[in-house]
C-alpha cells in the first residue's frame, strides 16, 4: 500500500517526495545486507521513492545495496548520490560518477551532490557536473553541507542551477532556521534534511513521548513530522529494517497542532542568532 506522501518541487519544477530514504551506514556488513535491501524495497512500496546514497558510505557498499534494492524498479526511483570533495575536480567528478553508476547498476542519477566543500574550486566541480549532464549521466546536481555564505559563493561561481542543499536538520539541530532556511526559501532551493530523527536519539525524549501519545504515534514519528512540516524540506531518514521504514512512513500522516509546535519550541528552542553549520 502506497502512503500519501507530500511532494516538494525542485527549481526545475519536477516534484519529489518530501519523505525519502537515506542509506548512511548501510553496506557495512554482509550480515545486514538482506535486511537493508528489504527495508529500501519496503520504502519504495510505501511511496518513499527518493533514495539518497553516496560513494563514501561503506566505500561504495551503500550504493551496491541500493542498486540491489532498486533492480527492476529503477524508473520508479528518484536516485541521489554524492561525490567526495577529494574527487571534485572536473575529471575526477566524472570518473567518480561512473563508478557510482556501476555500483548502482544504472545508467543515470537523478541528482548528484558535492558531499561537502573541499579545496577544489567550485568552478571545477560545476564543470564536471555540466559534462555529466550533457552526457546524460546525471539529470540534476546539487550540494551538501553548504551554509548560506557557501551558497552565495556557489551562485557567484555560476551555480544558479543548484537543485538542492543537503544538510543536518532535526529538532536538536535547528541552527539552519536562522539563515539557511530563509536563504533557501528566497532562492527556491529545497533543503534535504539528513538525520531528521538524530539517528534515533530523539525517540526517547520525554516531551516527544507526551506529544506522541496525543497522536497515537511514536516519539520518532513526531520528530520526523516536525521536519516534514517545514516547507520545501525533504527528509531522508535512514533505516535498515522494514518495520522502522513503516514507522517513518507513518509520520507523513501526522498533522502537528499549534500547541504541539509551541511545546516543541519550548523543549527545543529555535536559534536566536547565527550558528555554525553542523555536520555529522
Q: What string of DSSP letters covers 179-225?
A: THHHHHHHHT--EEEESTTGGGGGGG-HHHHHHHHHHT--HHHHHHH
The answer to whether residues 248 and 48 touch, using CB atoms and an 8 Å cutoff, is: yes
List strands edge to edge, sheet with 165-168: 21-22, 50-52, 78-83, 109-114, 138-144, 165-168, 191-194, 233-235
Question: Is 205 a known ligand-binding residue?
Answer: no
Residue 10: how many other CB atoms lie within 10 Å: 23
Helix 122-134 and helix 90-104: axis angle, to 10°? Answer: 50
Task: Specify the DSSP element, H or E, that contains 64.
Answer: helix 61-70
Scan for cell 531522508, then name that residue.
236
The span from the CA of 238 to the CA of 24, in Å, is: 7
Q: Is 57 a catalytic residue?
A: yes
The span from the CA of 23 to the CA of 4, in Å, is: 22
Task: Specify the DSSP element, H or E, that contains 45.
Answer: helix 33-45
From the list 252, 255, 279, the residue with the least C-alpha distance to 49 is 252
Catalytic-labelled residue, pool 57, 112, 169, 194: 57
Write out the catalytic residue numbers: 57
Binding residue positions for substrate: 115
Binding residue positions: 115
Amino acid at each position: 500500500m502506497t502512503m500519501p506522501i507530500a511532494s516538494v518541487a525542485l527549481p526545475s519544477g519536477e516534484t519529489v517526495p518530501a519523505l525519502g530514504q537515506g542509506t548512511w551506514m548501510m553496506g557495512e556488513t554482509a550480515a545486514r545486507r538482506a535486511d537493508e535491501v528489504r527495508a529500501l524495497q519496503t520504502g519504495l512500496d510505501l511511496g518513499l521513492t527518493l533514495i539518497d546514497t553516496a560513494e563514501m558510505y561503506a566505500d561504495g557498499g551503500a550504493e551496491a545495496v541500493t542498486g540491489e534494492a532498486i533492480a527492476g524498479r529503477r524508473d520508479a526511483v528518484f536516485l541521489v548520490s554524492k561525490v567526495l570533495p577529494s574527487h571534485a575536480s572536473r575529471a575526477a567528478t566524472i570518473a567518480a560518477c561512473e563508478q557510482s553508476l556501476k555500483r548502482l547498476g544504472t545508467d543515470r542519477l537523478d541528482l548528484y551532490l558535492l558531499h561537502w566543500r573541499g579545496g577544489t574550486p567550485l568552478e571545477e566541480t560545476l564543470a564536471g557536473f555540466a559534462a555529466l549532464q550533457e552526457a546524460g549521466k546525471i539529470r540534476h546536481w546539487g550540494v551538501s553541507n553548504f551554509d548560506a555564505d557557501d551558497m552565495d559563493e556557489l551562485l557567484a561561481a555560476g551555480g544558479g542551477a543548484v537543485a538542492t542543499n543537503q544538510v543536518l536538520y532535526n529538532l536538536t539541530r535547528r541552527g539552519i532556521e536562522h539563515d539557511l532556511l530563509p536563504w533557501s526559501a528566497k532562492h527556491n532551493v529545497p533543503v534535504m534534511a539528513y538525520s531528521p530523527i538524530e539517528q534515533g536519539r530523539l525517540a526517547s525524549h520525554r516531551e516527544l513521548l507526551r506529544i506522541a501519545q496525543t497522536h497515537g504515534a511514536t516519539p520518532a514519528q513526531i520528530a520526523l513530522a516536525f521536519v516534514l512540516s517545514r516547507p520545501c524540506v525533504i527528509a531522508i531518514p535512514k533505516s535498515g529494517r522494514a518495520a522502522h521504514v513503516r514507522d517513518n512512513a507513518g509520520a507523513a500522516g501526522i498533522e502537528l497542532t499549534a500547541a504541539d509546535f509551541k511545546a516543541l519550541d519550548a523543549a527545543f528552542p529555535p536559534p536566536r542568532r547565527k550558528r555554525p553549520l553542523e555536520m555529522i
